[in-house]
Structure 1
């Protein structure tokens, strides 16, 4: 069992060489995959073409990447550059790790996003001239040209800054909250525009801890919405609160006191959904600008689909704010990035938490956390983490300053790293499956086959799991989801492949329509994913 944060820190104080030993002995490996991305990514999303969209704000002055010739942005209201020829969004190719600039016209500071069923990335809101904007990025191969499109014929009914998006069973998107926006609305826009949502006002305090609310679409069709320390189940079709969830102890958990949250894998008969929320800042750290106030290390776990549910509490090895919770293809959760003191906001965090933690949901209470090999790059305010199709986790961003600042204790970070969980270790190579064939499209409820190869004979059942591509920003991955499909035993074919019979998710409540990474998982080791489109 991982030792507590206090014990671990005390041992390091007595014996600094323990840190060197710990780095060598703890699971997971790190590598820098891009030495200079040109921008610090505040928002990150992986596309079905195995490219990554990285996005920052527009009003920060010069980045370290120039736009293509003829694509400069002219904005008389920009406080820094009226004529701006610097990129504030880039596209990363996961095959070559090359970068090319993208053009974004309106401010995307603290905006929200979600992939649509056709694979288009919808981006909404922001600050200043972007506060009511919709934008689309229709991805393409890296060798082709695709770029951001600002929608001219529709806009948000209410300005959205620090809002959260979630794709719904019918493929539309709900947009919840934002500063001074205690309401919800939809894309495509529904008649009537924004709908007042009193819960967000009830969750607001004097440091606005109801921002970037956590949204999880439950398999019964309701939304689990968490803000500050409160949660409700919400019927978005009827604009009806189904029920209140008990308060989560341990202080505020949303922006600016950010912890993070995931919904654990949906599996079996898909009737049960479990939500986990970890970390957060001490209340008052934000309004007092207290960079040294220790972060919380507590986690709450609740069965959101059970009417009498209560929070089950446990502690992480480290207190953590601004951490990212990434659902791995195995169903375990990687908790990475962040700090051990302070709060979200410019210049307001300290003591970076370099140690990732693995959360193993199937283990007993008290044995679920494993401390992993630490990184060396502080990832503070405005950093992100995204699952990649090869099973690694892409780590980007970190800019705890209002503008780009490289001569600082925690400088603006332009490097991009990849963290490899233990399942990618060399000694797992013989049992790592290769997903050699899978359908490009699947329909709800239908049966289909995938084919895998593996060096050693398959023992037991190979899982086939669908992982969404979320929009990661501000310690929460909007739309993140893992669905374990029903499978039969692996049947060997005459050509050495294994045929895995699968059943697609039953409907859009379990897995909304769209593009997913499909992983084969053999004895806890995932294949490289293939992309599949799920639809009705």
Structure 2
């Protein structure tokens, strides 16, 4: 479909608070344990257990940024409450360095089985499993009762998949993890003609990990749903462990305030290309947002938009321009100064009828970067160029604090079936199969390396990638077609693994990691380091929810660490702004060489706060049908 058809349904989501799926331990998740679907459909659905340890004010609040109270450095500020009255949809400096020894060897690609369903959306669950969601289509993976499925769990060790039984169409949904360790998928598409599915536009899908391979996706639209239709929504986990969505509005799940959407002037003015807007939680608790060629810093608590300078040189960075984007690692060396990065996109005029666009139009080589403190905002965007143009790329934070960019095309835009000069149905052509590496601490003009072998398969529209615990990069997907297709470019189920050079090096190991890391507390790890190690660091990462080149909530935070003998004492993140409560992955670096990572819960592991009045008002003013 054309981009213009999709804009009215774009959604901006912050992370949502959810229900348990496979009857997990309620003390672990901080929610009521249910024993039947009848229970789940009842009024008590959102009756969370109240734990005083999670009471308001107990979690360490974010520290203010240096620009708070001074809006003069921004292009303009918008009071969201004021502009909403007219809208009625609902009654540190870089330095030169050489790449470390980590990248002195060769990287290799290897085949790693198939994904079962086209990998449109993926997220790592634990050391061995990846959840894969697709749109409702005729995938070769079937459920036991018969019929194609559009969800699967992939095992890294066995390369096997098991089906997940989604009810609603998750075509172009968003998602992420919340503070109790539950995965939330939001939004999607209406009923699909190729296989039977229910309307997914306002859907909320819940998945809680289990150890017996029996957990499945839970949906109950009569009680758990969004306030309105949302296609191409983005999510970000907030400081209270909850999540938020646009058309052009935000919303929260669990609902906050009156439970209804919040109008956004920013998302309204970002039309036509504000789909899958880019969201990053900042250390002061604000949310950075980018859509089309615009960017802002959003004060969630006070509903104030602080608009930044436009992206330079007319480059559009969200769908269908689809740049690779990342919040750069927050480290001790940069004093946890937040910086955002956008690489690629398009300068094509996306406001015209898509039939006037061409799949031969070159993608952009531009990378734009901005530090989001007072000095950085005043300085504005720093511009440099990649070795080659790219659209629909994925930016993956690597464990050594570099950024790998994979997938995408050198020409055209995201989507299928509505521009000129298509290949098959693809709106893009000239696949880019060679990854590139970006070193955030290098000097401008010397940050890129492209000494990588090419992947075997093209990865275009609906491709995905993620870092996995052993340090490899899992790459899958690509389906620029309305249904499963074998024409060029075909629906891709093949999975590839990229092994960086550090995979064959002598690597550090550690043990004794906690199940939970409480804010500001110290923990002692027992480490084994390669001979001659001079510098040891520790990090916690959110590997994100990958779809359409957007890695929702992906972040990397260095932990203060002190080594004495073989004992490494690390300090958990100081505030919820540095790392919001929820699951993460901890690893260490020995002179830049990474260990494997292990899963950890940052914070107490409880559910986000719940407002019963907001839930009641949301249910009163929204429709529960998912037919």
Q: What TM bracket, shorter-length normalisation?
A: 0.7 to 0.9
Correspondence for 1:182: 248
- The farther-off stretch of 262-271 and 321-330 is 262-271
Correspondence for 1:272: 337
Unaligned runs of 5+ in 1: 1-24, 73-84, 493-497
Question: How far apart are the structure 1 equivalents of 2:312 and 2:236?
Answer: 22
Question: How far apart are the structure 2 equivalents of 1:469 and 1:376?
Answer: 24
Contact 1:107-1:130 within 8 A present in 2 as well: yes
Q: TM-score, normalised by structure 1?
A: 0.86
1:409 equivalent to 2:499? Answer: no
1:66 equivalent to 2:66? Answer: no
Instruction: State the shift of 1:270 in Å.
Output: 4.7
Q: Encode CA deviations 1:251-270: one digit per residue, 9 max, x unaligned.
A: 21100111121011112285
Q: Which has the higher contact order (CA 8 A, sep 6+)?
A: 2
1:163 equivalent to 2:216? Answer: no
Question: How far apart are the structure 1 equivalents of 2:358 and 2:106?
Answer: 33
1:503 equivalent to 2:577? Answer: no
Relative to structure 1, is the Cα distance of residues 437 and 95 closer, same or farther in structure 2, using a 3 angstrom cutoff? Answer: farther
Correspondence for 2:205: 135
Question: How far apart are the structure 1 equivalents of 2:427 and 2:143?
Answer: 31
1:482 equivalent to 2:556? Answer: yes
List aligned pairs for 1:20-419, cutoff 5 A: 27-34=106-113, 36-48=114-126, 50-58=128-136, 60=137, 62-69=138-145, 72=146, 85-128=147-190, 129-141=199-211, 143-152=212-221, 153-175=223-245, 177=246, 181-192=247-258, 193-204=260-271, 208-268=272-332, 270-284=335-349, 286-306=354-374, 307-346=377-416, 347-371=426-450, 372-406=452-486, 408-419=487-498
Question: How far apart are the structure 2 equivalents of 1:203 and 1:234?
Answer: 15
Contact 1:250-1:298 within 8 A present in 2 as well: no
Aligned residues: 475
List aligned pairs for 1:447-486, cutoff 5 A: 447-460=522-535, 462-486=536-560
Give 3-state SS (helix, strand or coil) of 1:466's partner.
strand
Q: Encode CA deviations 1:216-260: one digit per residue, 9 max, x unaligned.
A: 111011111001111011001111113434443342110011112
Instruction: State the shift of 1:66 in Å.
Output: 1.1
Contact 2:295-2:307 within 8 A present in 1 as well: no
Q: Encode CA deviations 1:312-352: one digit per residue, 9 max, x unaligned.
A: 00000110001000011111000000000010001101000
Give 3-state SS (helix, strand or coil) of 1:463's partner.
strand
Give 3-state SS (helix, strand or coil) of 1:150's partner.
coil
Contact 2:170-2:200 within 8 A present in 1 as well: yes
Instruction: State the shift of 1:288 in Å.
Output: 2.3
Relative to structure 1, is the Cα distance of residues 246 and 256 closer, same or farther in structure 2, using a 3 angstrom cutoff? Answer: closer
Contact 1:470-1:479 within 8 A present in 2 as well: yes
Contact 1:136-1:151 within 8 A present in 2 as well: no
Contact 2:178-2:582 within 8 A present in 1 as well: yes
Higher relative strand content:
1
